[in-house]
């Protein structure tokens, strides 16, 4: 891949956005993100994933020069689906995912970060959905994932105004989960990701799927999703090992195999 790199070490995969200078998300980069999501999903050596744009910028948005001349037919016929598909691929990674955000995460950049389970931001990071200033709206999930994360009123504030939100406010409204000095963003995400290495991978996947799928349905359906996932875990080695260890040694001492 030209604009996206996947680096794996110590059980953690980093999906690195690498299209200088601002990591503008053109169609090729979006397709490469789909491939990167597939790669880390299929790699059993990967327990957790970090989305990272570098120490200066996460991603300043979609490639406006590429989109500016597109017609309705071109956008409706394929490109709008690609926008949704790459974000769905990232959101569908069945492992804990942490976005490490330095600098700007705007428009499509914030939509990438919204696909993660958690977001760590630098003190000087700025996030937002400024598409309204271009006469459009977010198209890679921003209207949906942002509203589900911070509530519809706050999402409308950000989307209607297009304003840039500083890290401190993003933390206050729940748009990011942790703010650290800029130089420590990737390391903080790495330390967080490391807590999932060696954990019960199948149970983590089941928990993520149950929460994400349950969010989209009524409570009764969500409870049925949970029940099905819960019962299925009793067919795993990790469940046997975890409960045996709890009985014999007490909590927190089990060794998991991911099977």
CA atoms within 13 A on the CB side of 103: 15
As a whole number of Å, the CA-based R_g of the chain is 19
Transcribe 27-50 into DSSP letters: HHHHHHHHHHHHHHHH-TT-SEEE
CA distance 256 to 243: 11
Looking at 131, 184, 248, 249, which residue is catalytic?
131
CA distance 238 to 187: 29
Residue 169 among the catalytic residues = no
CA distance 224 to 132: 39
Find the helix or strand (DSSP H, E) in which 52 lies. strand 48-52
Quick check: 90 and 37 in contact, CB under 8 A? yes
Looking at 39, 111, 169, 216, which residue is catalytic?
111
Close Cβ partners of 85 (under 8 Å, ≥ 6 residues apart): 30, 34
CA distance 212 to 206: 10
DSSP conformational letter for 134? G
Residue 131 among the catalytic residues = yes
Find the helix or strand (DSSP H, E) in which 178 lies. strand 178-180
**End-to-end CA, the chain:** 31
Structure tokens that stand for 11 in this block: 């059980």
Strands 118-122 and 97-101: parallel
Active site residues: 111, 131
């Amino acid at each position: 891949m030209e604009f996206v790199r996947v680096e794996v070490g110590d059980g953690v995969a980093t999906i690195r956005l690498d299209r200088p200078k601002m990591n503008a998300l053109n169609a090729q980069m979006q397709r490469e993100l789909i491939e990167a999501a597939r790669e880390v999903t299929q790699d059993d050596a990967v327990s957790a994933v970090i989305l990272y744009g570098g120490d200066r910028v996460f991603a300043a948005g979609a490639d406006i020069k590429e989109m500016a001349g597109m017609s309705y037919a071109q956008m409706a016929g394929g490109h709008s689906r690609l926008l949704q598909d790459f974000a769905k691929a990232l959101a569908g990674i069945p492992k804990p995912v942490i976005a490490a955000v330095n600098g700007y995460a705007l428009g499509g950049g914030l939509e990438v970060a919204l696909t993660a389970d958690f977001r760590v931001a630098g003190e000087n990071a700025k996030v937002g959905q400024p598409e309204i200033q271009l006469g459009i709206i977010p198209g890679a999930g921003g209207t949906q994932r942002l509203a589900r994360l911070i509530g519809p009123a706050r999402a409308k504030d950000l989307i209607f105004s297009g304003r840039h939100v500083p890290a401190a406010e993003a933390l206050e409204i729940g748009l990011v989960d942790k703010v650290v000095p800029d130089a420590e963003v990737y390391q903080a995400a790495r330390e967080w990701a490391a807590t999932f290495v060696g954990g019960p991978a199948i149970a983590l996947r089941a928990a993520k799927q149950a929460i994400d799928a349950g969010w989209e349905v009524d409570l009764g359906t969500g409870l049925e999703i949970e029940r099905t996932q819960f019962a299925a875990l009793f067919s795993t080695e990790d469940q046997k090992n975890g409960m045996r260890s709890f009985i014999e040694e007490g909590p927190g001492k089990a060794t998991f195999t991911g099977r």
